[in-house]
A and B are shown apart, each in its own frame.
Chain A
Amino acid sequence: MFENLSERLSGVFDRLTKQGALSEDDVKTALREVRVALLEADVSLPVARDFIARVQEKATGQAVTKSVTPGQQVVKIVHDALVATLTGDEDPGKLKIDNPPAPMLMVGLQGGGKTTTTAKLAKRLKERDGKRVLMASLDIYRPAAMEQLAVLGAQIGVDTLPIVAGQKPVDIARRAKQQATMGGYDVYMLDTAGRLQIDEVLMQEVADVAAVTSPRETLLVVDGLTGQVAVEVAQEFDAKIGISGVVLTRMDSDGRGGAALSMRAVTGKPIRFVGLGEKMDALETFEPERIAGRILGMGDIVALVEKA
């Protein structure tokens, strides 16, 4: 699938060999292929459309560097626009966890990687920032969900809230807050059950948890392989709970990660971390350049134009 894209674009480059300024037609021809590349990378359709329109405007009339083709020049412009969109205003790795105990809420669809990411982040906070962290599972639905977080906590040496059977998520959250306050923790992390953004009962449940704890960070954990639905998921979670950032998991896959662009474009919320595996240290701070190169799958050309 990767080869196809390169082939397709190099076909375009062959056709566009005139030098000088980029004509509207040059840009249009190249952008048609870029649009397909974005869609194949799972960028949501409306986001891809807006993005292409913006680049079209920006690129038309731009001078072409002598040693590259117009097509290559367009790819570079697209790449830069991708980076610009993906880049937030602040340092993505810096969480707002002053005022101990700072609550952090982890939310998302089923199976996205919330529990794993909760533990990875706890480990990072403990080891990098020297924080005392308490983790609590509010997942009363999925079999052995609480046990899963407890096992991970033991693995990384981070405390988990003792499990009390029969408690509602809001009550567990209250208990976590109390224990975090009394126990002198810097941060308490609330791992929640996976839920569909259209499930009104469960969305209300997590909104209630947010109301009771006023999280300093509410992170939406999303599978990096997510397709067109990413926009809707991010919008709904943001509208109903209010998110402060996104974590993109499973970026150790060969997926292109177009969901990153979709979510960033529609919510304006920063992508903070990427998950790069199942191990507890497989978490990195989000780097816009890397994801941009991956979405486009044209890193080599970008480097070429940068050198020219």
Chain B
Amino acid sequence: RLRRRDASPQVVRRALDDAMLEQIEELLIASDMGVDTALRVTANMAEGRFGKRLSTDEIKQVLADEIARVLEPVARPMPLYPKKPQVVLVVGVNGSGKTTTIGKLASQFKAAGKTVVIAAGDTFRAAAVGQLQVWGERAGVPVLTAPEGSDPASLAFDAMTRAEAEGADLLLIDTAGRLQNRKDLMEELSKIVRVIRKKDPEAPHNTLLVLDATTGQNALSQVQTFRELADVTGLVMTKLDGTAKGGVLVALADKFGLPIHAIGVGEQIDDLAPFDPDEFARALTGIDR
């Protein structure tokens, strides 16, 4: 008799009470969402549902919907403009995945029929240029370089001249990694932007900030400072193929509203995916489908 009862599994329902909300809050904190945002998200999902009896699946679904709702407005692919060349400046802290992301983007745009040129604006880090040259080869796209230690702003300027002369659709400019609290390096970045604008007042048309999903709450300060000093227009989050959930994106969407263009899901050239809020929310809440 007992076995018969087990064979017809009953959906367990639990009241959405304070204890349950605390558990949900902890799940969100463990995803790097941050305490404030986690509290806000749980409060929103509890509204009108507090005390109701829900199954685990239902709770997860409600939670995922709530998260997706926050992310929906910022999930936008990188906009393309008729301007030639459209200048895309790629910035971020050290090791976040800028160079790799440029390789992936170049390959995608090329496959979409665009002519792409890459500028190796990291003239600082050892073998940064060599790394980007390999990505250029992989993507089948030319890479403009300058000697190590030379001024990245003048390389950017030269690259614009070349890209213009060649009638390229897109110019992707790599930059050296820099921490946002390094005033001198942030000033160097502002200078790159200023010099680019001498050539085209509307450029860079996109300034992409590359964030590492492994990063915790410091991502907030990264976005704030890079946006202030380099006019960031959109975000890319890399390394989401790992176990980090990237919950800080929810906090970022909430606070800054910057578009999230794409996510990095591996080290190979095709490992760049559009940002899908539903899928992201499901992965974050642990709904497998």
C-alpha spacing A154/B31, complex, angstroms: 41
Chain A window 30-45, contacts with chain B (Cβ cutoff 8 Å), 1 for yes, 0 for no: 0000001001111011
Name the CB-closest residue of B to A111.
B95
Cross-chain contact of B126 among A152, A198, A223, A253 (Cβ < 8 A): A152
Chain B: minimal CB distance from A199 (Å): 9
Q: Which residues of A contact B215 (CB under 8 A)?
A: 223, 225-227
Is B154 close to A, CB under 8 A? no
Name the CB-closest residue of B to A252.
B179
Q: Which of B31, B97, B212 has the most CB of A within 10 A?
A: B212
Number of B positions contacting A (CB below 8 A): 42
CB <8 Å contact, A227 and B130: no
Residues of B94-113 whose CB lies within 8 A of A: 94-97
CB <8 Å contact, B239 and A110: yes
Tell whether A45 pairs with B126 under 8 Å between CB atoms, given A111-B212, A143-B135.
no
Chain B: minimal CB distance from A262 (Å): 10
Is B93 close to A, CB under 8 A? yes
Chain B window 12-38, contacts with chain A (Cβ cutoff 8 Å), 1 for yes, 0 for no: 000000000000001001111011000
Tell whether A144 pairs with B131 under 8 Å between CB atoms, given A36-B35, A228-B32, A254-B180.
yes
Report the number of A-B residue pairs with Cβ-Cβ less than 8 Å.
131
CB <8 Å contact, A151 and B127: yes
Tell whether A259 pairs with B130 under 8 Å between CB atoms, given A40-B34, A45-B30, A250-B94.
no
Is A113 close to B, CB under 8 A? yes
Tell whether A197 pairs with B243 under 8 Å between CB atoms, given A36-B35, A142-B131, A250-B93.
yes
Is B142 close to A, CB under 8 A? no
Chain B: minimal CB distance from A221 (Å): 11
Chain A: minimal CB distance from B270 (Å): 16
Task: Knowing that A152-B126, A253-B181 touch, tell me 16 more A-B residue pairs with CB under 8 angstroms.
Answer: A36-B35, A111-B97, A144-B130, A144-B133, A148-B127, A151-B126, A197-B243, A198-B243, A227-B214, A227-B215, A229-B32, A229-B214, A233-B243, A252-B181, A253-B93, A255-B221
- A-B contacts, 21 of them at CB < 8 A, read A42-B218, A44-B30, A111-B97, A112-B95, A144-B127, A144-B130, A144-B131, A148-B125, A155-B126, A223-B212, A223-B215, A225-B93, A226-B214, A227-B215, A227-B217, A227-B244, A229-B214, A233-B243, A252-B182, A254-B218, A256-B217
